[in-house]
Amino acid sequence: MGTHILVPVDGSEQAGNACAFVAEEFPDAAVTLIHVINPAEAGYSIEASLPSASEEWYEAQKDNAESIFEDLSAEYFPDQDVETTVEVGKPTRVIVEYAGENGVDQIVMGSHGRSGVSRILLGSVAETVVRRSPVPVTVTR
């Protein structure tokens, strides 16, 4: 069985860099792109389910994820079947849980998707994933 690589993507340049790294270093690997929709970004508690009033916001987030998947797949994996998944929750928890539950051998992710004050206040998703992941994590710049 081949290597299974999980690549969290958020539309940032760093996520693109992670895809470029995977395409170059693991050309024969099974690749899964994961995008996590964080309800906290819409002002809702992560523990709460998505309220029905947020359906438009959620659908826009799903459409955005599909667009990210299409762009990255076309640019970095044009001759490869790439799995994609959209999950809802706190990104660090969802990424780590997905890796542990889906036979992922390695996570490759960008160093950060945020910049400035929000990155400092919210902490680094990559840093938390590195500390909690059940599999090796490669962080790209």
Check: CATH 3.10.20.600 for 4-140? Answer: no
Give yes or no for a contact between 58 and 50, defined as CB atoms under 8 angstroms apart. yes
Helix ranges (DSSP H) in the chain? 13-25, 55-76, 91-101, 116-122, 125-132
Residues near 4 by Cβ (< 8 Å), separated by ≥ 6?
29, 30, 31, 32, 102, 103, 104, 105, 106
pTM: 0.86
The mean of the pLDDT values for the chain is 87
Q: How many helices (H) and strands (E) does the chain have?
A: 5, 5
pLDDT per residue over 45-56, tens digit each? 545 555 555 688
Section 26-53 average pLDDT: 77
Per-residue pLDDT, 137: 96
